[in-house]
Amino acid sequence: MNLLLDTHAVIWFLEGSDDLRPAARAAIEAAETAYVSSATIWEMATKVARGRLEAPLDFPERLLDLGMMQLALEWEHARVAGGLPLHHRDPFDRMLVAQAMVERLTIVTRDEAIGRYPVPVLAA
């Protein structure tokens, strides 16, 4: 299974937090490929800069060290995201949905609004 991690799943995985369900952690560790979107890195960096999130400055490098793959923002992702119904107002999450749709990925998330889109979800 190929996965795309939502921001909270990334943070919980990085921290080794018990907030991440054991089944989700096991799926991430066993995934053929676990992706982290450029949108997620952007969101995390924005929250760190605003003081709304504490994360190590080297979190992108740590993700790569853990075997995560970067998922860049492509034009097709942006086109699909722009056409999504407004089930979710957060542009970062809408981009993740679009990327999962285009790349045929399962999103690891606890965000129930994401489940309203036609994309597979694994409960974080």
Q: What is the pLDDT of residues 28-62, one digit of tens each?
A: 999 999 999 999 999 988 998 999 988 877 888 88
This prediction's pTM: 0.93
Q: CATH number, domain at 105?
A: 3.40.50.1010
Residue 26: name the closest of 7, 9, 41, 38 by CA: 9
How many domains does the chain fold into?
1
115, 10 in Cβ contact below 8 A?
A: no
| Residue 22 to residue 74: CA distance in whole angstroms | 32
Q: What is the domain extent for residue 27? A: 2-123
What is the per-residue pLDDT across 53-92, written as a single tens digit (0 to 9) for each?
Answer: 888 778 888 899 999 999 999 999 999 999 999 888 899 9
66, 99 in Cβ contact below 8 A?
A: no
Q: What are phi and psi of 66, to 5 degrees?
A: -85, 0
**If you ran DSSP here, which 8-state letter would residue 119 be given?**
S
